[in-house]
Amino acid sequence: MPIIERPEFPRKQKLQGTMLLLAALALVFGIAYQKISNSMQRRNIIIHSVSFEDYDRQFIRLAYDIENKGKNEAQLTLLGKVFDDRNEEIASIIFTTDIKATSREYQTKVIDKLNRPLKKDEKPYRATLQLIQRGLFSYE
């Protein structure tokens, strides 16, 4: 039987101190950049006049005006919630929308998955719409 010599596996070497320092600095700058960009987006995006355009027992159509004061087009993640007169949540939805730079747009969103169907002659009472932004480990 022939003898086959195996090559040695490459040895794992520890990262040098300068590489660890560079990785830590990159992490700190990444977190700072994310916080700055989130605060700038909060200043540039304004949501006006959230209302109900149409509703039925199985769906609710939210209508809202959204304004982008920034110089760049923005893709936003929004959280919409609808409440009844007893302040119980009827429906909620997370969705994304695009808005052009320095513009104000009228948009609608249909919520067709309700937590419970509307009762006969019941109307949605209040709606909220808020901007969801990516945090360090979760959405804020």
pLDDT tens per residue across span 9-27: 777 777 688 888 999 999 9
Q: Which fold has domain 17-132?
A: Immunoglobulin-like (2.60.40)
Worst-scoring range by mean pLDDT, 26-30, 74-78, 131-135? 131-135
pLDDT tens per residue across span 93-109: 999 999 999 999 999 99
Parse the chain into domains and list their residue ranges: 17-132
Question: How many whole angstroms from its chain centre is CA 103?
Answer: 20
CA dist., res. 98 & res. 83, Å (int): 25
108 phi and psi, to 5 degrees? -130, 155
1 pLDDT band (50/70/90 cuts)?
A: low
- pTM (2 d.p.): 0.76
